[in-house]
């Protein structure tokens, strides 16, 4: 996978991404000194660049909210959950629409059209699962004779019905595109090098993610039937078969494309980034060999004669007061990220957005819940194995771990479901944006830590607020959405439709 830095110049073309502004693409003056169209390949590169830079990557604030790590210096960040607003993604969606339109003007094969449907689904999900109802049917229509500058909000249920339809259509369309142009004909794709086979697997893996996220809505949306259709028909719906299929960003020593933790950042954040207790304690409880890959022992407790002693691995609680945390950190009483793994190179490790391990845990959960037939233990074990392979854990250690009493699957019971969800959380470490939080929010597993640093009444929020810009430019519709969902209050602790 190529790096992102060489594509930064593509930002220049954002000046003419004006579907969401006051001028329609069709109405651009045919000025020979100004571009009147943008190749779909360039639009795809820009959409991919944004997708890979949503601010929720490794060792970001999002990963702190996921309770994978903590910060001990309040000057550089906090542990509080008093969240503000979430971002809207309509500028990127306008680029997705432009990509689809420009591709249709060039040929009938529409390989870009298939990807545009996926990205529409991806960004609609990104927004709705953070806030609730969002503008959809009337969005991106600010130009032309029938311009709508204050779009109404669609219900979250309507948004998810559309997301599922888009993903179904994306799979259908990519099958046609593959038949016409083969599997490697998508220019501008620096993520999968134009490989439509991998894109189709990603689309269907994401489809399964969406269906799992609707686990509380099986009486309103036929989640079970669709999940079964995908898993039982790999010819029509191919899904990921290993970690090589992961949708993942690669880092490098190229300026602007460094992994967050690297030799240059060592002196800046080494003693401020502390392993999160919610995550590290799960590894300790299960004698998990991944702990030696991701963390260093706390120096205060380390014994060179017993280097693998798990009692020397101490994570900080997310809710802990930062003053006390800083004192303990200065005394060497907390574990930091593994120095060899995270600080010895600029390339670090791949950042997974949609991955094979998550897919396997999702299928295991579906079987556990009785949605589909199958052996949940098989998929559960494959998910664990995939995560361990990501960390280059030896085959012997993997087999030993899978055979341990805490890990052997406890059947299609509540205990078995907790095992699946706990191991899914572990596999999400520093990856997949906020999916570990969204899974916690949906299931309560694992239990997230709260304490004095929480600043939200000892609660983990259930959503983000709407952006202030909506209250300034679309107040009637955003207030109507708040009234219909949350009794008129833009409350971060309110429960959206998805979670009821």
Q: Is the pLDDT of residue 20 over 70?
A: no
Query: For residues 249 and 2, is the Cβ–Cβ distance under 8 A?
Result: no
pLDDT digits (tens, 9 = 90+) for 318-330: 999 999 999 999 9
Query: Which H or E element spans position 294?
Result: helix 290-294
Q: Is the pLDDT of residue 169 over 80?
A: yes
Look at 119-128, 170-179, 235-244, 383-392 and tell me which has the smallest mean pLDDT. Answer: 170-179
Helix (H, G, I), strand (E, B) or coil at 298: coil
Q: What is the mean pLDDT of the chain?
A: 91
Residue 36 has what pLDDT?
A: 54
Percent of the chain with pLDDT over 70: 91
Q: Is the pLDDT of residue 19 over 50?
A: no
Residues 6 or more apart whose Cβ sits within 8 Å of residue 447: 278
Query: For residues 276 and 315, is the Cβ–Cβ distance under 8 A?
Result: yes
Higher-confidence residue: 90 or 34?
Answer: 90
Query: Which H or E element spans position 200?
Result: helix 196-213
pLDDT digits (tens, 9 = 90+) for 250-291: 999 999 999 999 999 999 999 899 999 999 999 999 999 999
86: left (phi over 0), alpha (psi -120 to 50) or beta: beta
pLDDT digits (tens, 9 = 90+) for 59-105: 999 999 999 999 998 888 999 999 999 999 999 999 999 999 988 87
**d(C-alpha 415, C-alpha 81), whole Å:** 29
Query: For residues 247 and 199, is the Cβ–Cβ distance under 8 A?
Result: no
Residue 141 has what pLDDT?
A: 86
Residue 181 has what pLDDT?
A: 73
Residue 104 has what pLDDT?
A: 83
Q: What value does the mean pLDDT take over residues 182-187? A: 74
pTM (two decimals)? 0.93
**d(C-alpha 75, C-alpha 326), whole Å:** 11
Q: What value does the mean pLDDT take over residues 478-499? A: 98
Q: From 16, 74, 24, 73, select the one nearest 46 (Cα to Cα).
A: 16
Residues 6 or more apart whose Cβ sits within 8 Å of residue 324: none
Task: Identify the band that residue 11 occupies on the pLDDT scale cut at 50, 70 and 90.
Answer: very low
**d(C-alpha 435, C-alpha 68), whole Å:** 12
Sign (positive/negative) of CA torsion 208, 209, 215, 221?
Answer: negative
Residue 257 has what pLDDT?
A: 95
How many CB atoms lie under 10 A from the CB of residue 237?
21
**d(C-alpha 148, C-alpha 167), whole Å:** 26
Look at 171-180, 196-205, 227-236, 445-454 and tell me which has the smallest mean pLDDT. Answer: 171-180
Q: Is the pLDDT of residue 30 over 50?
A: no
Q: Is the pLDDT of residue 441 over 90?
A: yes
Q: From 165, 74, 426, 399, select the one nearest 279 (Cα to Cα).
A: 426
Q: From 203, 174, 169, 204, select the one nearest 186 (Cα to Cα).
A: 174
**d(C-alpha 330, C-alpha 336), whole Å:** 12
Q: Is the pLDDT of residue 1 over 80?
A: no
Task: Identify the band that residue 142 occupies on the pLDDT scale cut at 50, 70 and 90.
Answer: confident
What is the DSSP code string of 153-177? EEPHHHHHHHHHHHHHHHHHHHHHH
Q: Is the pLDDT of residue 14 over 50?
A: no
Kindly report the CA angle at 357 between 259 and 292, in degrees rounded to 5?
55
């Amino acid at each position: 996978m190529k790096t992102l830095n060489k594509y930064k110049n593509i930002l220049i073309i954002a000046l003419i991404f004006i579907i969401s502004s006051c001028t329609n693409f069709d109405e651009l003056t045919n000025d020979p000194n100004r571009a009147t169209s943008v190749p779909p390949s360039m639009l795809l590169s820009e959409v991919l660049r944004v997708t890979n830079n949503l601010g929720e990557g490794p060792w970001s604030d999002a990963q702190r909210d996921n309770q994978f790590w903590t910060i001990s210096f309040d000057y550089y960040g906090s542990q509080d959950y008093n969240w503000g607003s979430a971002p809207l993604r309509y500028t990127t969606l306008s680029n997705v629409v432009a990509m689809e339109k420009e591709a249709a003007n060039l040929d009938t094969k529409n390989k870009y059209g298939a990807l545009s449907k996926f990205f529409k689904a991806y960004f609609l999900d990104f927004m709705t699962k953070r806030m609730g109802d969002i503008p959809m049917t009337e969005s991106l229509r600010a130009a032309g004779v029938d311009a709508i500058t204050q779009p109404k909000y669609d219900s979250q249920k309507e948004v998810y019905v559309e997301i599922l339809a888009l993903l179904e259509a994306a799979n259908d369309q990519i099958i046609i595109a593959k038949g016409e142009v083969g599997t490697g004909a998508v220019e501008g794709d620096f993520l999968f090098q134009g490989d439509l086979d991998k894109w189709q697997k990603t689309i269907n893996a994401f489809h399964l993610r969406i269906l799992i996220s609707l686990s509380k809505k099986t009486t309103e949306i036929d989640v079970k039937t669709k999940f079964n259709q995908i898993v039982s028909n790999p010819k029509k719906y191919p899904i990921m078969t290993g970690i090589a299929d992961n949708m993942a960003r690669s880092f490098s020593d190229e300026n602007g494309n460094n992994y967050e933790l690297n030799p240059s950042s060592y002196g800046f954040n080494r003693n401020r980034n502390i392993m999160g207790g919610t995550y590290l304690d799960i590894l300790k409880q299960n004698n998990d060999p991944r702990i030696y890959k991701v963390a260093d022992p706390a120096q205060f407790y380390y014994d060179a004669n017993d280097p693998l002693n798990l009692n020397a691995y101490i994570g900080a609680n997310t809710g802990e007061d930062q003053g006390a945390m800083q004192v303990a950190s200065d005394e060497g009483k907390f574990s930091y990220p593994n120095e060899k793994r995270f600080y010895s190179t600029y390339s670090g490790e791949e950042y997974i957005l949609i991955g094979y391990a998550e897919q396997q845990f999702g299928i295991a959960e579906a079987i556990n819940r009785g949605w589909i037939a199958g052996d949940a233990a098989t998929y559960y074990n494959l998910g664990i194995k995939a995560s361990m392979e990501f960390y280059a854990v030896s085959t012997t250690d993997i087999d030993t771990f899978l055979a341990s009493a805490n890990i052997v699957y406890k059947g299609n019971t509540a205990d078995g479901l907790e095992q699946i969800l706990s191991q899914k959380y572990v596999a999400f470490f520093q990856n997949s944006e906020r999916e570990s939080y969204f899974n916690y929010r949906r299931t309560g597993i694992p239990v997230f830590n709260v304490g004095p640093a929480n600043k939200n009444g000892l609660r983990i929020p259930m959503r983000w607020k709407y952006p202030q810009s909506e209250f300034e430019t679309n107040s009637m519709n955003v207030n109507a959405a708040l009234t219909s969902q949350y009794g008129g209050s833009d409350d971060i602790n309110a429960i959206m439709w998805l979670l009821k």
